[in-house]
Amino acid sequence: MKTLAIFIVLLFGGLLIYCTLDFPSWGDPQAPASMHVSPRYIERTMEETSVPNIVTAVLADYRGYDTMFETIVIFSAGVACLFLLRIFKRIEPETQLYRHIPTGITLRIAKGAEPPRESREFERIDLMWVPYDLIIKTSARLIVPFSQIFALYVIAHGHHSPGGGFQGGVILGASIILFAISHNLRSSFTRISEKFAVLLCGLGVFIYAGTGALSIFLGSNYLDYGALSKIFGVDPVTARSHGILMVEIGVGICVMAVMVHLYYNLASAGRHDEGL
Amino acid sequence: MIWQIELVVLLIVIICGIGAITVKDLLGAAILFGAYSFMMCLLWAIMGAVDVAFTEASVGAGISTVLFVATVFRTSRRTKD
């Protein structure tokens, strides 16, 4: 069976590699894609959308439907993971650990006993893995705000440089995950709770679809951002650039929330109690 | 572009890909997968697809490695096969 599987894999792999020989070579000016589609975008993007980064213009404006449904795919993946992984029944842990902060003594609370209230003196710590390191905590606290500002820059500056909603959203999510790893899962729940994360997932898609619907109400086609000029008070070409920014913000919020929520579910095995 | 660098990067991509499916330690496989993504990111950047390289670096090498490590932390570290 194993030899058969290897044989089939090698056969189809060889066929695929053989077929790629018929492709036009990389960067070939005579290739069909470089002859018909690309020149149109390269020549007209600047005068039609006033966005210097053609990739962003194609992604969010010319192929706006594609990107909207990509966002919806990410949203539905996040929702599917919620239903697959989340355990809604609350399981009482066998023992709980609490640290008395002024002395550094760890208390072990048996099942059924009254745990101390979380305060400035007592903090609950995880059983499996305790991130308690001053260097890691301090350096993560230094890195997180800078990476968040970088993420916002990537989202907002996607018109002019590489980047956009997807990348910026992922970096924003990564900064929150870094916070969750360096501190613990519960302290990141106090910043972004589970409900808030799920709400943001929907909000991102809503912003994207709402921008499209707004263009319908202003008497144009769906996702035709030129119609937004009546709201922004600028000419239709600049309005396209602003519309792309609105859409990118929606994508960024959705991607960030899905990444954070996915991490919460995976790291705590769906219990949202204690985790990596 | 310097073709020697491309060749080395492509070789590392293949080695990381084969390593990620053969290694028994799943944490090692996750790290190898991150290295694979990072080398793919370099290849995209060499070919001039900067946006794709950026996405690959942030999603492939960044977030998905973290998610793999979180999953390994919660399941088992060794493969059954």
Any domain includes B79: no
Residue A121 and residue A62 share a domain: no
pTM score of the predicted model: 0.87
3-state SS, chain A, equals CHHHHHHHHHHHHHHHHHHHCCCCCCCCCCCHHHHHHHHHHHHHHHHHHCCCCHHHHHHHHHCHHHHHHHHHHHHHHHHHHHHHHCCCCCCCCCCEEEEECCCCEEEEECCCCCCCCCCCCEEEECCCCCCCCHHHHHHHHHHHHHHHHHHHHHHHCCCCCCCCHHHHHHHHHHHHHHHHHHCCHHHHHHHCCHHHHHHHHHHHHHHHHHHHHHHHHCCCCCCCHHHHHHHHCCCHHHHHHHHHHHHHHHHHHHHHHHHHHHHHHHHCCCCCCCCC
User: Based on the domain organization, do A157 and A83 belong to the same domain?
Assistant: yes
Let me know if residue B70 belongs to a domain.
yes
pLDDT value at residue A237: 86
For residue B81, give the 3-state DSSP assignment: coil
Nearest chain B CA: its distance from A214 CA (Å): 28
Question: For B57, which residue in chain A has the nearest alpha carbon?
Answer: A167
Range of the domain at A205: 52-90+130-267
Domain assignment present for residue A46? The answer is: no
Residuewise pLDDT in 10s, chain A (276 residues) = 889 999 999 999 999 999 988 888 877 888 887 888 888 888 888 888 888 888 888 888 888 899 999 999 999 999 998 899 888 887 777 777 787 878 878 878 777 777 777 777 777 777 776 656 788 889 989 999 999 999 999 999 888 888 888 999 999 999 999 998 888 888 888 888 889 999 999 999 999 999 989 989 888 888 888 888 888 888 888 888 888 999 999 999 999 999 999 999 888 888 777 777
Residues A248 and A176 in one domain: yes
Tracing tokens 């060794």 back to the chain, one arrives at: B78
Q: Per the domain annotation, does B28 fall within a domain?
A: yes
Calculate mean pLDDT across residues B75-81. Answer: 80
Count of the separate structural domains present in chain A: 2
What is the count of structural domains for chain B? Answer: 1
**Residue of chain B whose alpha carbon sits nearest to that of A268:** B74
In this prediction, residue A130 carries a pLDDT of 63
Chain B: nearest CA to A118, how far in angstroms? 26
* Residue A97 covered by a domain: yes
Tokens of residue B80, six digits: 């059954």
Helix (H) or strand (E) holding B55: helix B50-55
The domain boundary, picked from A125, A140, A172, lies at A125
Tokens of A203: 């909000």
ipTM at complex level: 0.88
Mean pLDDT of B49-54: 90
Size of interface A-B (CB pairs under 8 A): 55
Average confidence (pLDDT) over B8-30: 91
